[in-house]
Structure 1
């Protein structure tokens, strides 16, 4: 057995609670509904409000809508503008749900973990309304209910802030050391580290893996299949 497999088995064996990031480990939310187009729409909406100067040129062309949201929140914290922009992003996320791609092996992994008595939660920067709709579409609601912790009106609490992880741990009555966070971005890793939660990185490509390792993540899988195999005693 390789050291990598042994490390994977160890983090899985210890976990009594698993916190999933949503977009990445559970599905690719914008697989059929470009995140870059969503970011452009948020920028266009701001320009329609006469606020083109609010963003730098680099920010106006950034492909991640969450970056646009963070920038506006930083410059106009807790304003009606931020509330409206967040709702616009939520509507785009909701439209993306029907064309989202389930992450390979995610559905059986979630059901298997539930079947062996491990409690699950979602800790995400996406809207909890979006997560709930997706889980319902996959008949996975009962595996998580009611533990879905997503974006709130307080955007200062987006990961890498550990707020959503701490909410999940408190609701489940779980010690951080008894939990496991599965995420695919450096912000997921940093939030887990801040919360004291062991981390399992999911990297669907070499770029994702490089970003996670640069952030400090050590246990990383390129597929959820070996995680499922460990749970089933096949690895």
Structure 2
């Protein structure tokens, strides 16, 4: 792996793999929170999850969650736990709306992942089409991309959370929708994600996967899930894309 601070080159084998993917990928599928930005940079996701649990408690509904779900730092885990007990109910719809509002607020102060913006712009100029396949709200994703001036690189291919919560990753539904809409075969795509659920969804869809890990804990989780290619910086990938562009005379 490489570091944003040292900006060192990837090892030769890894560099070759990245250059090959930069050359071959016709479609790049991005997870949102992680590879593109840190969505809850100003307000921890753990706090959002706790507030969802508190709201359920005020309704006398904490019994819907087990101990692990009540203590989860992931608001998506809370939402999906309730959906498993009361699928497509008004209760789930209300919780999802509350989470969407929090994600929209967070999008305004989200911290861009280092190297992500120039990578997206450079890679789009070379030719591949971009899509977001995420468990986050599509409204929050679109808001963030528009604020960064990146929406033209993706629109209209933003595939976020819907009311069908059972189709969130690790289900491959969002990836398969993106591939279908873009007319791309799984083997011609590349997914960049930061969680085991991203990897599982990519594997189920038949899409090659590149892991991104912000820290050692995330890297360990990806390794445990069987991910063999993990970067802690997108800079080597940007270098590979630029090298491909130079070799092909792309703008």
Q: What is the aligned counterpart of 1:82 among 60, 69, 92?
A: 92
How many aligned positions are there?
A: 235
Write the distance in 2 (CA, Å) between the matches of 1:42 and 1:32. 18
TM (norm. structure 2) is: 0.91
Shift of 1:80: 1.0
**What RMSD in Å do the two structures reach over aligned CA positions?**
1.3
Shift of 1:144: 0.3
User: Helix, strand or coil for the counterpart of 2:156?
Assistant: coil
Residues 37 and 112, structure 2, Cα contact 8 Å, conserved in 1: yes
User: Helix, strand or coil for the counterpart of 2:87?
Assistant: coil
**Once the two structures are superposed, what CA deviation does each residue of 1:186-210 show, in whole Å capped at 9, x if it has no partner?**
0000000000000010111111111
Write the distance in 2 (CA, Å) between the matches of 1:206 and 1:61. 22
**Once the two structures are superposed, what CA deviation does each residue of 1:164-191 show, in whole Å capped at 9, x if it has no partner?**
0001001100000000000000000000
| 1:188 correspondence with 2:202 | no
* 4+ aligned runs moved over 4 Å, structure 1: none
Match of 2:5 in 1: none
**Once the two structures are superposed, what CA deviation does each residue of 1:150-176 show, in whole Å capped at 9, x if it has no partner?**
000000001000000001001100000
Aligned ranges for residues 16-95 of structure 1 at < 5 Å?
A: 16-95=26-105
Q: What is the aligned counterpart of 2:146 among 128, 136, 141?
A: 136
Q: What is the aligned counterpart of 1:163 among 158, 169, 173?
A: 173
Shift of 1:71: 0.5
Residues 73 and 155, structure 1, Cα contact 8 Å, conserved in 2: yes
Write the distance in 1 (CA, Å) between the matches of 2:61 and 2:101. 21
Write the distance in 1 (CA, Å) between the matches of 2:21 and 2:225. 19
Shift of 1:5: 1.9
Structure 2: where are the runs of 5+ without partners?
A: 1-10, 247-251
Residues 131 and 178, structure 2, Cα contact 8 Å, conserved in 1: yes
**Which structure has the higher relative contact order (CA within 8 Å, separation 6+)?**
2
Residues 202 and 221, structure 1, Cα contact 8 Å, conserved in 2: yes
Write the distance in 2 (CA, Å) between the matches of 1:52 and 1:19. 36
| 1:228 correspondence with 2:228 | no
Shift of 1:14: 1.6
Structure 1: where are the runs of 5+ without partners?
A: none
Of 127-136 and 47-56, deviating more is 47-56
Q: What is the aligned counterpart of 1:176 among 180, 186, 193?
A: 186
**Once the two structures are superposed, what CA deviation does each residue of 1:65-124 show, in whole Å capped at 9, x if it has no partner?**
011011101111111111111111000101111211000000000101111111000000
Shift of 1:56: 1.6
Aligned ranges for residues 201-220 of structure 1 at < 5 Å?
A: 201-220=211-230
Shift of 1:53: 1.0
Q: What is the aligned counterpart of 1:116 among 126, 129, 138?
A: 126
